[in-house]
Chains A and B, each alone.
Chain A
Amino acid sequence: MSAPASTGRAGLNDGLLHTSVWTDELVASSGLPVIDMPFVTVGGGLGSFVMVDYLRIAGVPAGHMRTLTVLDHPWQNYEYLLSASQVTREKRIRSDSSSCLDNIWGFPGYAVRESFGARSVPGFIAPLWNVLTENVLCDYWTPKSGQVFRSMQREADRIGYWGTLDMGRAHITRRRHGGGYFTVLTRPDGNDVIYRSSFVHLAVGYPGLAYLPDLVEYRNRYGDSHRVVNAYEPHEHVYEELNRRGGTVIVRGAGIVASQVLDRLISDRDRLGTDVSIVHLFRTFVEGAHGPSRFLRRRGEHGWAYQGFNWPKSTWGGQDRNRVLRAEGEAREKWLRTLGGTTTPRRKRWQRMLERGRRQGFYRMYVGEVQEVVPGPVGAVVTRLKPGTAGAAPVQLESNFVIDATGLEADIAEHTLLADLLQHSGAERNLLGRLDVDPQFEVRGTRAEPGRLYAVGAATLGGYLAGVDTFLGLQIAALEVCDDLARQGFCRFIGVRRSISQWWKWALARTP
């Protein structure tokens, strides 16, 4: 994951670093160039893109916004993570037809567009039939990642997104005496510039990737990152070696990435006829439907909890969204824990693959907590499970590789800018340890009237919206921010008339 590595801050003097609220004079004394820009968004990934899209549609000229980023195009980091976790452009991702990153209305959805772009009659009918019967007769229809990227490119061209890019890494956002914020950007040439803006939007994605503690221990102690890999990092060598020589691999985790990894392993095994056996290690094994009441029961089987998307569908706009929105403190935390958790979609292909694996014995399941991971005989690692009862001998699993697909995320303080925000700008953590934002995604405690500081994405999990780290969640957040900015007079409110006329422009590919 492209987490911020260096801390830059080259030109920042101590006076600036140790002062929480900066004055114009203090900043001028640093000698760094200052750029006045009403709105900056930090990140330049999907979250920044949809924010700029909304604001353009709400009438803000591209020249009034800057996207501070290290990415050449907004889907760059996302595509990198996808391909590491075995999702190429021809494979389907995990969000529905109307979670359209390139179209704030979600109409026409990806399914209809795929259908009308098809060159055969079955190709035309299949997506439509799928969306008509989804979640009843079949799985949810989901778009191919290639379609998502191509359509984003078109929208980025239309709204003039590329003109908003300023390359570099933003390390610090501090409040400005008199209102607004200063954001320091270290450019690729190493020079710092300071943006003075009324509004700052943080869409920095994942603070970083975290590994299971026992795997960190193993990697540190034995210096081996060849046999123990993370599914979110490139790990092609694992498949190559298994395809060449066969062997045993342990997969940990029970989310969609574990499903994708298993899909890859079993497909390769079928294709090449290799002797690869898979051990799937579950931390908690889901036996069947589970949940606190019959009105809150999620499907599950064979260790997995099943769900179409990362969150139940109504968390993006329905009963579950209201539940989370209306709850405060511990009540909200409890709702998020009930509705959340690791899940995977119940795709027919995966059901069949694993069923065959269980029957033929090349896919075995274990449940337990790992005590330690140690080197085994040449070319092997041994995973020891904590014994079920005191005094019993621990179960030992030997394998050639361990793939960690648990998808743990690092603490927000691992991110330089977020850490600085917590330290200097009055930001606080919510009960899940992430950045505390209000229902409009303003970071609580950081207001510098008349300015506002907003944050979206994974860093804000635990707030008033469950699926913050999803396409639709990023769009909902962008809409909330956009509405809030309309109240500040920064942009127009997207009401019925504006919405219709802007949709026309979208349909005709005209600039907003």
Chain B
Amino acid sequence: MTSTYFGRVQTRLFTVFTIGLLWTLVLTPFLSLPAGEKYKVTLTTLGWVALLGVVVWEPIWHLLQQFRWEKDWPAMYLLLQAVPEAVLVRVVLDRTLTTAAPVGTGTFALHFATTWLAIYFFVQGPMRVPFLRWRFRGGRIL
């Protein structure tokens, strides 16, 4: 992808709260999380992915992109950036979210990774079907 900074932010917010949200809603009941607090955990996770993404990560990724001649962000980077992002979300969740029982690393990873992949595959192609101009505008929807 060849995003601009605003394109990155718009794409992230849009995909997290559409594809990411849909997938989370479907997956949550099957995760081994404290009963009654399942959605609290997964939706908070999703919220942090959006917030930390916009405030912390996108500026960093965009800065790194400046060192690339093509001003592009290869498909592989989009996958790899999930690793540091997941770690930070996990750390923040640990500190801020109180639940009846601790959230297992495996459960967190399953939710995070599958959501990330769903978004990843969506932006690699299907996103262009409703938004014809999106790829020509640096990832901006508006």
Residues B138 and A317 in contact, CB atoms below 8 Å apart: yes
A210 within 8 A of B: no
* Contact in complex: A291, B74 (CB < 8 Å): no
Contacts of B40 in A (CB 8 A): none
Answer whether A314 and B72 are a contact pair too, CB < 8 Å, given A136-B77, A295-B66, A503-B129.
yes
* Bound Cα distance A294, B66 (Å): 9
Instruction: Mark contacts of A137-152 with chain B using CB atoms, 8 A cut-off: 1 yes-contact digit, 0 otherwise.
Output: 1000000000000000
Across the interface, which residues of A come within 8 angstroms of B130, CB to CB?
496, 499-500
What's the Cα separation between A319 and B66 when bound, in Å? 10
Q: How far is the CA of A425 from the CA of B67 in the complex (A)?
A: 45
Q: Are A132 and B75 in contact (CB under 8 A)?
A: yes
A426 to B126, CA, bound (A): 43
Interface string of A475-512 (1 = CB under 8 A from B): 01001000000000000001010011001000000000
CB <8 Å contact, B72 and A318? yes
> Is the CB–CB distance between A104 and B132 below 8 Å?
yes
Known: A132-B76, A317-B2. A499 touches B138 (CB 8 A): no
Known: A133-B76, A136-B76. A313 touches B128 (CB 8 A): no
Known: A137-B76, A314-B70. A322 touches B4 (CB 8 A): yes
One of B66, B76, B125, B131 near A109 (C-beta < 8 A):
B125
B132 and A322 within 8 A (CB) = no
Question: Please, what's the 1-or-0 string for A266-296, where 1 marks a CB less than 8 Å from any CB in chain B?
Answer: 0000000000000000000000000100111
Contact A299 to B126, CB < 8 A, known contacts A135-B74, A318-B4, A479-B136: no
Complex interface residues of chain B between 112 and 142 (CB less than 8 A to chain A): 125-126, 128-133, 135-139
| Contacts A105-B129, A132-B75, A137-B76 given; does A321 touch B70 at CB 8 Å | no
Contact A317 B136, CB 8 Å, known A105-B129, A322-B4, A499-B129: yes
| A67 beta carbon closer than 8 Å to chain B | no
- Which B residues are in CB contact (< 8 Å) with A105? 128-129, 132
A318 partner, pick from B2, B126, B131, B132, beta carbons under 8 A: B2
Known A107-B128, A109-B125, A307-B69; contact A317-B75, beta-carbon cutoff 8 A: no
B3 within 8 A of A: yes
Interface string of A289-330 (1 = CB under 8 A from B): 001001111110000000110001110111111100000000
Shortest distance in angstroms between B72's beta carbon and chain A's nearest beta carbon? 4
Q: Is the CB of B76 within 8 A of A299?
A: no
- Rounded to whole angstroms, the CA-CA distance of A321 and B133 in the bound complex is 13
A135 neighbours in B (Cβ, 8 Å): 70, 72, 74
Is the CB of A369 closer than 8 A to any CB of chain B? Answer: no
Known contacts A108-B125, A132-B75, A316-B136; A496/B131 CB under 8 A = yes
When the two chains form the complex, which single residue of B70, B76, B131 contacts A313, counting CB atoms closer than 8 Å?
B70
Chain B binding site: helix, strand, loop or mixed by DSSP? loop
Contact mask B1-35 → A, CB, 8 Å, 1/0?
11110010000000000000000000000000000
Alpha-carbon distance between A438 and B135 when the two chains are bound, in angstroms: 21
Contact-residue size bin, chain A (C-beta under 8 Å from the other chain): 35 or more
**Tally of chain B residues near chain A (CB < 8 A):** 30
**Shortest Cβ distance from B135 into A: residue:** A317
In the complex formed, the residue of A with least CB distance to B80 is: A136
Residue on B with the closest CB to A311? B70
B132 lies within 8 A of A499 (CB): yes
Question: Most chain-B CB neighbours within 10 Å: which of A296, A308, A499?
Answer: A499
Closest approach, in angstroms, between the C-beta of A95 and any C-beta of chain B? 14
Closest CB of chain A to B7's CB: distance in Å? 8
| CB pair A298 B69 closer than 8 Å | yes
Q: Complex Cα distance A243/B4, Å?
A: 51
A314/B2 in contact, CB under 8 A: yes
- C-alpha gap A314/B4 in the complex (Å): 9
Residue of A nearest to B76 (CB): A136
Q: Is A98 part of the binding interface, using a Cβ–Cβ cutoff of 8 Å?
A: yes
Residues in B whose Cβ lies below 8 Å from that of A299: 69
Q: Give the chain B neighbours of A307 by CB distance below 8 A.
A: 69-70
Q: CB-CB contacts of B63-101 with A at 8 A, as 1s and 0s?
A: 001110111101111010000000000000000000000
B132, A134: Cβ atoms under 8 Å? no
Point out the residues of chain B lying under 8 angstroms from A296, CB to CB: 69
| Shortest Cβ gap from A299 to chain B (Å) | 7
29 contacts between A and B (CB under 8 A): A98-B125, A105-B129, A105-B132, A107-B129, A109-B125, A112-B125, A131-B75, A133-B75, A133-B76, A134-B74, A134-B76, A135-B70, A135-B74, A136-B74, A136-B77, A295-B66, A307-B70, A312-B69, A313-B2, A313-B71, A317-B135, A317-B138, A318-B72, A319-B2, A319-B65, A321-B136, A476-B136, A499-B131, A499-B132
Beyond contacts A295-B67, A500-B130: 18 other A-B pairs, Cβ-Cβ < 8 A, are A106-B135, A107-B125, A132-B76, A135-B70, A136-B76, A136-B77, A291-B69, A294-B67, A298-B69, A313-B71, A317-B2, A318-B7, A318-B71, A318-B72, A319-B138, A476-B136, A479-B133, A499-B131
Q: A: which residues have CB within 8 A of B?
A: 98, 104-109, 112, 131-137, 291, 294-299, 307-308, 312-314, 316-322, 476, 479, 494, 496, 499-500, 503
Which 9 pairs from chain A and chain B are nearest by CB?
A: A318-B2, A314-B71, A314-B2, A317-B136, A107-B125, A313-B70, A313-B72, A319-B71, A312-B70
